Amino acid sequence: MSKSAWEKIKIARMMNRPTAQYYINKLFTDFIELHGDRNFADDAAVIGGIAMYKGTPVTVIGEEKGTDVKDKAQRNFGSPHPEGYRKSLRLMKQAEKFGRPIINFVDTQGAYCGMGAEERGMGEAIARNLEEMMALRVPIISVFIGEGGSGGALALAVADRIAMLENSVYSILSPEGFAAILWKDAQKAEQAADVMKITADELLKLDIIEEIIPEPEEGAQADAEAVAAAIDDFISRSLDILSQVPAGKLPEYRYKRFRRL
């Protein structure tokens, strides 16, 4: 528990850190990946589909950084384009239609900053997720498994219950960007990480998240199965807790969760 924010970021960014695909395969059965936003394209930086979780069909979505070098490049290192968020929203609305809980894995440096992303309305895509997720009548659970970069992370985290892996981070901007903007010096990223309050324990204190999921000393890759089991426990308890919320009251519950922040 004595790691600095910067040490945690380095773990969160490790090339061999387990990604969304790993946890989806580990925690769910009968996963069928569904592609495309029905509008422009399929964004490989976001994977999503339906699966079985302890006898209940669920919708699962994750920002996916990729595994090997080729896979990472293909997935744009987990930085989604607008169509990635639009795909996620399509799948979440589908979940609502069929009464399925939604489980999101957040892992992105941030939404992609490129020309196509602007042309296709990155701002609108994220905004639409925020507004529509707030109204969904099924439980939404988000788990931060690595990096949680700004609006690109929030767009999958308008949730009823949120947990972060011990070494994952969630921030308004990367420490490098933060240092560049406020101190005009990207080299001061380590210092920035210290003041930004981006670690799981700091965000728990700020009431941004509900729980911290422990990791082995060296990081999740050291014992991915144990981490998956701890995530499993969080999801299963969260579904129990949320099943107590009366039918139709989840949007109100969710709004209150964010209203106090």
Partner 1 sequence: MQIKDLFNKNKEEFKSGSKGNEETLRPEIDDKIWAKCNGCNRALYEKMLMNNLKVCPLCSYHFRLTPQERVDFTFDVGTFTAFDYDDIGTSNPLDFPGYMEKLEASRKSCGSQDAVLCGVGEIGGYKTAACIMNSFFMMGSMGYYVGEAITRTVEYATKNGLPIVIFTTSGGARMQEGIVSLMQMAKISGALEKHSQKGLLYITVITNPTTGGVTASFASLGDIIIAEKGALIGFAGKRVIEQTIKQKLPKDFQTAEFACEHGFVDLISERKDLKENIRKILMLHKTEGTK
3-state helix, strand, coil in the chain (%, to 5): 50, 20, 35
- Residues of span 201-220 touching partner 1 by CB under 8 A: 203, 206, 208
| Site pattern 98..137 for partner 1 (x: CB under 8 A) | -------------xxxxx-xxxxxxxx-xxx-xxx-xx--
82 phi/psi in degrees, rounded to 5: -55, -35
Which residue among 18, 171, 220, 230 contacts partner 1 (CB under 8 A)?
Answer: 171
Q: Any contact of residue 1 with partner 1 (CB under 8 A)?
A: no
| Residue 119 neighbours by CB under 8 Å, 6+ apart | none
Query: What single string gives the DSSP state of each residue in 27-90?
Result: H-EEEEE----SSS---TTEEEEEEEETTEEEEEEEE---SSHHHHHHTGGG---HHHHHHHHH
Q: Any contact of residue 259 with partner 1 (CB under 8 A)?
A: yes
Which residue among 53, 105, 170, 234 contacts partner 1 (CB under 8 A)?
Answer: 170
Closer residue to partner 1 (CB): 118 or 233: 118
Give the footprint of partner 1 on this chain (CB under 8 A). 111-115, 117-124, 126-128, 130-132, 134-135, 150-151, 154-155, 158, 170-173, 177-178, 181-182, 195-198, 203, 206, 208, 254-255, 258-259, 261
